[in-house]
A and B are shown apart, each in its own frame.
Chain A
């Protein structure tokens, strides 16, 4: 394709390979966050990892790149073409674009996707740009103008073509927030556990939740607090709760390979401190998410969470299967008593979470969560629904051929009435992550058997205990 009027308002966004399923969802959220014209996104053109969008100027792209964790760089597009000659023909019609930069120090780079070129192969390509009216000096370290020829060799590593399928040429503008992703890597993080969420996905969840400065964000299944880290980095204030006393107190055994004992100063708060955002820490509380905890008129701006699936952590809540209503723990046992827990079915976890969020979010506030799904049983209609919450995005991350987890985003659209209960068809929930079973104790096996029994049962849970 030779586009003859490559106006200077086309911008090229280069996305990373991973998590391509989440690209559109993140962009939709960022367009909403910055109140950008949604039509721009709808008119986008995509090819492999590249997305072209037209903006009136670079302020929109700058905003998007200031938050995205999925796009790694953004360019003002100057020319494009399938063959290099076409691209040059196109560029020669657009030489006016160079005018503001003639005296700038500059560099040329060749970037490829789907094929690796040697330095020796790249040089002659750069030489073909000789005609560009650039008077500044070459500066490979900190150039004022960075020009990139980007060649796309397709997505199939087994069928790499000799010539690129598409070539783009433009001026580098911004990088995305990949640096933030590496800044909060788990390897160097003070307090982690085997449930800590991947840094990129944590930040993505905060973006999807439209987290903004001074928001109050809750994670009711906080674990090691990795989701709080992401929101705190966006200058929100964060609150968490978890049923696991030892986890919240960072006293569980260490998940690091060569370290048995945790350091005494490990904590969720220490993580925020490590990243310079201790100010954003409100509190974490030991509490059962299936029970009311916060006062009614206290609302959150976002609820971002990764509920337990029973894979690496228990799905439990406080309770007993003893039927007697006046069952009481004997006085002499009270001091040392550890609350007994009953299995908390996935269906109840998600029903409770949606009921709870429908009450505890501000209008417009978002609930972002992961849900384990059986791919063979999945149907969008089976996902949890609540009349007060609109499902605004739903993306799959496949784990195995039969199991995946979905990242769901709900937005509160109204205050719930008494009849606003969550409906969910549990048959699509993944109860049995066979591939992930590391150390199934008999106890756990018994619990699994029980949830298998409930497999397929559809639930309607009321609001009785979920404010």
Chain B
């Protein structure tokens, strides 16, 4: 699971959960898979990203040095910054680990790179 995906996922499917975001991230195994950098794509993506959540995620899985704590104002022209953002969003992958609902503590396992967001029938409305 890429940190991009983590940045988009919620636990709102659980009953009584209001926001369900961000999910806390714990990783047992992390892998870096190089992928092609496309600056226009990354800069188009950034407005959709919650930078604080991405930063927090890199911290929690041992890639603290990957990105600066705040987003650069001129990121469209800052290739160095965009490359870092690309790396954090699309290259760092959690292979095994879990995500945790901030409101209920419910855990979502990540196995072989695939998060399991299914909840049980007693957890939904």
Contacts and interface: CB of A to CB of B under 8 A. Distances in A.
Given A279-B36, A295-B21, A285 B120 contact: no
Given A288-B118, A329-B122, A339-B118, 9 more contacts: A285-B116, A288-B119, A291-B119, A292-B12, A295-B9, A298-B8, A298-B48, A318-B119, A318-B124
Chain A CB within 10 Å — which of B13, B111, B122, B125 has the most? B122
Given A279-B35, A282-B2, A298-B48, A318 B8 contact: no
Contacts, number: 100
A168 B112 CA distance: 57
10 contacts: A214-B41, A283-B114, A283-B115, A286-B115, A287-B13, A293-B117, A320-B122, A340-B121, A342-B121, A465-B125
B30 to A, nearest CB: 15
A285 B13 contact: no
A122 interface: no
B35 A285 contact: no
Contacts of A436: none
Nearest to A294: B8
Given A282-B4, A283-B1, A249 B118 contact: no
Contacts of A243: 118
A102 B110 CA distance: 66
Contacts of B1: 283, 285
Nearest to B22: A295
A279 B112 CA distance: 18
Chain A CB within 10 Å — which of B1, B4, B114 has the most? B114
Nearest to A288: B118
Contacts of B13: 287-288, 291-293
Interface string B76-111: 000000000000001000000000000000000001
Interface of A: 214, 237, 239, 241, 243, 245, 248-249, 278-279, 282-288, 291-295, 297-299, 318-320, 322, 327-329, 334, 337, 339-342, 465, 467
Contact of A286 (B4, B12, B114, B122): B114
Nearest to B1: A283
A341 B124 CA distance: 12
B5 interface: yes
A329 B120 contact: yes
Q: Could you tell me the dominant secondary structure of chain A's interface residues? A: loop
B29 to A, nearest CB: 16
Interface string B9-49: 11011000000010000000000000110101100100010
Contacts of B21: 295
Q: What 4 pairs across the A-B complex have the smallest Cβ distances?
A: A291-B13, A320-B121, A287-B117, A292-B12
A214 B120 contact: no
A165 B114 CA distance: 58
B115 A297 contact: no
A319 B44 CA distance: 38
A248 B12 contact: no
A389 B91 CA distance: 35
B116 A286 contact: yes
A7 B122 CA distance: 71
A294 B9 contact: yes
Contacts of B121: 318-320, 322, 327, 329, 339-342
